[in-house]
Amino acid sequence: MTTPAAPSVLFVCVHNAGRSQMAAAFLTHLAGDKVQVRSAGSAPADAVNPAVVEAMKESGIDISAETPKVLTVEAVQASDVVITMGCGDACPYFPGKRYLDWKLDDPAGQGVQAVRPIRDEIEQRIRGLLAELEIEPAS
């Protein structure tokens, strides 16, 4: 009996320094190796937003070692689900992929106080995505 391949999810935002980093971190944290997780940006920043790093640390997830990555056609092709967050037009489209566009506030230039509600909304959306994928989240 073979185990089906883990689904692959790509999170894309403009700078890959906030929303997509939080989403990828929550999915990795909650799904473990049951999902392949990628994140990228259409115009990546030099570093992950420090307020995002702090807000995620409050949730027990350390993303301080993460770096923004550039969006590539290969990353989209290798993903089953592509979730855009404010840069849908910059993301290449391939038939057969599932595309979702999550409307979320941009944490760029915001303090940790403003990032917390965005972080919490992302976590809830990730939990919903796991339910759709029929993957039990880690506790």
pLDDT tens per residue across span 40-86: 998 999 999 999 999 999 999 999 999 999 999 999 999 999 999 97
Rounded to whole angstroms, the Cα distance separating 8 from 75 reads 10
Rounded to whole angstroms, the Cα distance separating 75 from 71 reads 7
- Active-site residue, selected from the candidate residues 13, 14, 55, 75: 13
Catalytic annotation on 91? Answer: yes
- Active-site residue, selected from the candidate residues 10, 87, 115, 130: 87
DSSP classification of residue 7 = P
- Active-site residue, selected from the candidate residues 91, 104, 115, 126: 91
Strand residue runs (E) in the chain? 8-13, 36-41, 81-84, 98-101
Catalytic annotation on 111? Answer: no
Catalytic annotation on 61? Answer: no
User: How many Å is the Cα radius of gyration of the chain?
Assistant: 14
Rounded to whole angstroms, the Cα distance separating 32 from 24 reads 11
- pTM score, whole prediction: 0.93
